[in-house]
Amino acid sequence: MEDVYMGIDVGSISTKGVILTKDNRIVASAYIWTEGNPIGAVKQLLHLLEEQVSGEEYRIVGTGTTGSARQLVGTVVGATVVKNEITAHAVGTTTFHPDVRTILEIGGQDSKIILVENGVAIDYAMNTLCAAGTGAFLSSQSNRLGIPVEEMGEIALKSSHPTQIAARCTVFAESDLVHKIQVGHTREDIVAGLCQAVVGNYLNNVGKGKKILSPVVFQGGVSKNIGVVKAFERQLGCPVLVDENGHLMGAIGAAILARRSKKRKEFSFDIEDMEFITREINCGGCPNNCEIICVYRDGQMIDSWGNRCQRGDAAAKKAARRFSEEN
């Protein structure tokens, strides 16, 4: 029986999972779309992971979750570590690329830059609450152009004159784009222009004022777009490394964090068959009227969060009683 560690990264667009051994060998991995249903996605993910390790002598002794749904999923799988995605990415990347100085990351709705010195993250920046220039922007524009988002990179490479597209704000970028299509720019040039706009936007907003030193590692879903990678290389003037497991780096980091933490709890794949429900209630205990999320497993409330004070706990308990009476 070998002890292994599982990491799950549930983002807004995709859900990633890995099972990692003590010596950082990936024994199972999966990458699926979240499709607005983090719990369903995690169940499906666990199923895929279970298939890959079935019959082997592995015991999952620690589980880490990260990504924007980390708290919800952490509750569902009974995680030993729940960590934010910046730390998870930094830990994952520095384990596989100890000499990295800059980590660029563009995900579905987040984009971030992490600066590393001697294998330790020393500074970072994240996009402000606006999702301009992230994966969500690229995927909505690919819909408009009728091109699968996976093919955008290859199409962009065919262009020799990328169209100039305003990069400051996606709303302006979109109207600019429509205008450029209508006056007759070719599709290749538009797509290449989009890739450049994403890079320009990233460097202007997230990377503003940061010293970007080589080696540079680029990850997150958008790193699979070769057009964006080339645009980064052109604008930064240095090679940009894309790890083949770059899309899994958050999950890998979560697994490593689970290993580093002293907490141990054996994970069982039984939860695939359990029913998880979330309910939103409004506390009503005071004028703040906090929105509280309650998570139920097979009808039993296992966790709740979102309240600003203790009054919320009472409200959640009351809701749980009502819930069990109804069912």
Residues at the interface with another protein (CB under 8 A): 68, 83-87, 90, 118, 120-124, 126, 128-129, 209, 286-289, 291, 306, 308
Q: Which of 83, 224 has the CB closer to another protein? A: 83
At closest approach, how far in Å is the CB of 37 from another protein? Answer: 17
Q: Which of 95, 288 has the CB closer to another protein? A: 288
Cα 4 from Cα 22, distance rounded (Å): 7
At closest approach, how far in Å is the CB of 140 from another protein? Answer: 21
At closest approach, how far in Å is the CB of 34 from another protein? Answer: 15
Please name which of 163, 167, 114, 159 lies closest in space to residue 137, comparing C-alpha atoms.
167
- Walk across the sheet containing 81-82 and list its strands: 26-33, 14-20, 2-10, 58-66, 81-82
At closest approach, how far in Å is the CB of 120 from another protein? Answer: 5
At closest approach, how far in Å is the CB of 288 from another protein? Answer: 4
The single residue listed with the structure tokens 């790193």 is 223
Cα 156 from Cα 211, distance rounded (Å): 28
Contact 315, 292 (CB under 8 A): yes
At closest approach, how far in Å is the CB of 146 from another protein? Answer: 33
Q: What are phi and psi of 105, to 5 degrees?
A: -140, 125
At closest approach, how far in Å is the CB of 72 from another protein? Answer: 11
Q: Which of 24, 288 has the CB closer to another protein? A: 288
At closest approach, how far in Å is the CB of 242 from another protein? Answer: 23
**CB-hemisphere CA count at 13 Å for 228?**
30
Q: Which of 86, 173 has the CB closer to another protein? A: 86
In the numeric block, which tokens belong to residue 234? 């052109």
Q: Which of 26, 293 has the CB closer to another protein? A: 293
At closest approach, how far in Å is the CB of 90 from another protein? Answer: 8
**268 contacts: CB under 8 Å, gap ≥ 6:** none
Q: Which of 7, 153 has the CB closer to another protein? A: 7
Q: Which of 289, 300 has the CB closer to another protein? A: 289
Q: Which of 1, 129 has the CB closer to another protein? A: 129
Contact 247, 31 (CB under 8 A): yes
The total of other beta-carbon atoms located within 10 Å of residue 281's CB is: 21
Q: Which of 52, 87 has the CB closer to another protein? A: 87
CA gyration radius, the chain: 22
